[in-house]
Amino acid sequence: MQNTVEVSGKVHWIGTNDRRTHLFENMWPLEHGVSYNSYIINDEKVALVDTVEIGTASEYLDNIKSIIGDKKIDYVIINHMEPDHSGALGAIIHRFPDVKLIGNIKTLKILTAYFTINEENYITVNDGDELDLGYHKLKFVMTPWVHWPETMVTYDTTDKILFSCDAFGTFGSLDGGIFDDEINFEFYEEEMRRYYSNIVGKYSNMVQKAFKKLDGIPVNTICSSHGPIWRENPGRVLDLYNKWSKYETERGVVIVWGSMYGNTEKMADIIARHLVNNGIKNIKMYDASKTHISYIIRDIWKYKGLILGSCAYNSAMYPKMAQLCAELEHMQVKEHHLGIFGSYSWNGGGVKNLMKFAENIEFELIAEPAEIKGSPSEGNLDQLEVIAKEMAKRLKEDFPTQS
Ligand code: FEO
């Protein structure tokens, strides 16, 4: 029996789960795996919507056969050329040499860099173009930079299904449950925010443009290319994406530190206690050496407060903290209140470079940084309390109704 699931009538999920790969893009931990979702519309004309990563192509071809038997595939719609979705294209072209490939003008340039194709079989579509499969009528909407420049989405006007590719996608394999009414939403929400903040978030302004373009189009079901299909409550993930792409945050603080021998970590604990004493309940604490930055950035995308600490390391910032700061700048994270602290033994460097980061990223520094020589002790703790109090004050002003 093949692993396929009916989405609606002629539309089937034929994706694959990848529980073997350790790192997505060879960078982001796949603790709970990932799914590569592809869909087939078995109409008078047969269309595939995206494919899967090459490592799962064999299972994928079996899934296709279990739906269409000996029929041929007429079209492959390429919403996005990143190899986690286009990896199996070569196998499809090999199996169905006459298949028509559908994408936009930018898709073709990337496609021909990866595959040798017969360009006579390539159909270039523009914004708003339609494709008639018989019963299903599809419409193509260009959504550049959600997540690459060629990215587009496909809208089935018949069943009102949005094939959204990376948008609304999550890390985490599909463990039996395929639809949102069959899963634990909280788990996938966290993994969706980790996918969004680390993969798509840099292009949040383009996500907002895509929202405006799709505004008013009725959507019954969102078929993303990673994670669950949103059919029971697609509005819930639309709202989350809208919020994240507008950099809307919540009342809470992420504290991250780099510490060699525990002194900077002690400062983090003192700040956290003062935050609690000043009415802040949502506090996430991370040792930058221990937790992968993708989880830290996921939570920074959620909470407005950010407090960063670094010991001095060879007169510079602690390397793991420097990596986090570089990634935050690269992802163009916006709209946070920032506090800074750190320690040193014989020379500074941690706090000084955190200040440079604050300037570059243009976060509001809520108080003077707290910098301690040696260990935190009774005589040098005042500024840690000031940072916590100022942070709590601003968060309570920003989110008066949240706890
Ligand atoms: Fe899931 Fe941009 O690839």
Q: What is the CATH number of the domain that holds 196?
A: 3.60.15.10
Atom index in ligand 1 nearest the CA of residue 199 equals 2
Least confident of 7-16, 283-292, 373-382: 373-382
**Residues within a 6 A CB radius of ligand 1:** 80, 82, 84-85, 147, 166, 225-226
Assess if residue 402 is contained within a domain.
no
Atom index in ligand 1 nearest the CA of residue 36 equals 1
**77 φ, ψ (degrees, to nearest 5):** -90, 120
Report the separation in Å between the CA atom of 343 and the middle of ligand 1, taken as the mean of its atom positions. 40
Report the separation in Å between the CA atom of 80 and the middle of ligand 1, taken as the mean of its atom positions. 7
pLDDT in tens, 65-105: 999 999 999 999 999 999 999 999 999 999 999 999 999 99
Query: Which residues are registered as beta bridge partners of 40?
Result: 12, 48
Assess if residue 170 is contained within a domain.
yes
Atom index in ligand 1 nearest the CA of residue 148 equals 2
Statement: residue 226 has pLDDT above 70: yes
Q: Which pLDDT score is estimated for 349? A: 96
Report the separation in Å between the CA atom of 168 and the middle of ligand 1, taken as the mean of its atom positions. 11
DSSP 181: G
Assess if residue 327 is contained within a domain.
yes
| Residues 240 and 263 placed together within one structural domain of the fold | no
Report the separation in Å between the CA atom of 61 and the middle of ligand 1, taken as the mean of its atom positions. 20
H-type alpha helices, 139-203: 185-195
- Determine which residue's CA is closest to atom 1 belonging to ligand 1: 166
Q: Which domain holds residue 390?
A: 250-396
Atom index in ligand 1 nearest the CA of residue 169 equals 1
- How many C-beta neighbours within 10 Å does residue 41 have? 31
pLDDT in tens, 122-132: 999 999 999 99
| Residues 383 and 234 placed together within one structural domain of the fold | no
Q: What angle do CA 90, 100, 150 make, to 5 degrees?
A: 75
Final residue in a domain of this structure, among 187, 221, 245: 245
Q: Which pLDDT score is estimated for 261? A: 96
CB-based contact 52:76 (threshold 8 Å): no
pLDDT in tens, 31-42: 999 999 999 999
Dihedral Cα 30, 33, 34, 39, nearest 10 deg? 170
Interatomic CA distance for residues 94 and 368, integer angstroms: 63
Final residue in a domain of this structure, among 219, 245, 271: 245
Q: Which pLDDT score is estimated for 1? A: 47
Q: Which pLDDT score is estimated for 3? A: 87
| Residues 215 and 260 placed together within one structural domain of the fold | no
Atom index in ligand 1 nearest the CA of residue 166 equals 1
Assess if residue 401 is contained within a domain.
no
Burial state string for 320-339 with b = 16 or more CB within 10 A and e = fewer than 16:
bbbebbeebeebebeebbbb
Atom index in ligand 1 nearest the CA of residue 225 equals 1
Atom index in ligand 1 nearest the CA of residue 226 equals 1
Report the separation in Å between the CA atom of 92 and the middle of ligand 1, taken as the mean of its atom positions. 19
Burial of 316 (0-12, 13-18, 19+ CB in 10 A): middle
Tokens 């194709």 sit at which residue?
A: 117
| Residues 201 and 292 placed together within one structural domain of the fold | no
Tokens 């945050």 sit at which residue?
A: 249
Task: Give pairs for 290-295: CB < 8 Å, separation 24+.
Answer: 292/28, 292/29, 293/323, 293/324, 293/327, 294/28, 294/29, 294/194, 294/197, 294/198, 295/194
Assess if residue 403 is contained within a domain.
no
- Per-residue pLDDT averaged across 253-276, rounded? 98
CB-based contact 187:28 (threshold 8 Å): no
CB-based contact 174:195 (threshold 8 Å): no
Interatomic CA distance for residues 45 and 336, integer angstroms: 50
| Residues 205 and 351 placed together within one structural domain of the fold | no
DSSP letters, 65-114, are HHHHTTPPP-EEE-S--SHHHHTTHHHHHHHSTTPEEEE-HHHHHHHHHH
Interatomic CA distance for residues 327 and 368, integer angstroms: 24
Q: Which pLDDT score is estimated for 380? A: 87
Assess if residue 162 is contained within a domain.
yes
pLDDT in tens, 315-359: 999 999 999 999 999 999 999 999 999 999 998 999 999 999 999
Total structural domains in the chain? 2
| Residues 320 and 360 placed together within one structural domain of the fold | yes
Assess if residue 374 is contained within a domain.
yes
Assess if residue 134 is contained within a domain.
yes
Final residue in a domain of this structure, among 218, 245, 272: 245
Interatomic CA distance for residues 227 and 153, integer angstroms: 16
| Residues 221 and 293 placed together within one structural domain of the fold | no
Report the separation in Å between the CA atom of 77 and the middle of ligand 1, taken as the mean of its atom positions. 15
Rg (CA), the chain: 24
| Residues 143 and 240 placed together within one structural domain of the fold | yes
Report the separation in Å between the CA atom of 72 and the middle of ligand 1, taken as the mean of its atom positions. 27
**Residues above pLDDT 90, as percent of the chain:** 98
Interatomic CA distance for residues 101 and 120, integer angstroms: 10
| Residues 124 and 141 placed together within one structural domain of the fold | yes
| Residues 241 and 257 placed together within one structural domain of the fold | no
- Per-residue pLDDT averaged across 175-182, rounded? 97
Interatomic CA distance for residues 373 and 342, integer angstroms: 9
Report the separation in Å between the CA atom of 147 and the middle of ligand 1, taken as the mean of its atom positions. 7
Statement: residue 2 has pLDDT above 70: no
**290 CB-near residues (< 8 Å, 6+ apart):** none
Report the separation in Å between the CA atom of 81 and the middle of ligand 1, taken as the mean of its atom positions. 8
| Residues 25 and 121 placed together within one structural domain of the fold | yes
User: What mean pLDDT value characterizes the chain?
Assistant: 97
Q: Which pLDDT score is estimated for 379? A: 84
As a residue count, the chain comes to: 403
- Determine which residue's CA is closest to atom 3 belonging to ligand 1: 82
| Residues 21 and 162 placed together within one structural domain of the fold | yes
201: left (phi over 0), alpha (psi -120 to 50) or beta: alpha
CB-based contact 298:328 (threshold 8 Å): no
CB-based contact 258:288 (threshold 8 Å): yes
Burial of 399 (0-12, 13-18, 19+ CB in 10 A): middle
Residue 264 maps to which CATH number?
Answer: 3.40.50.360
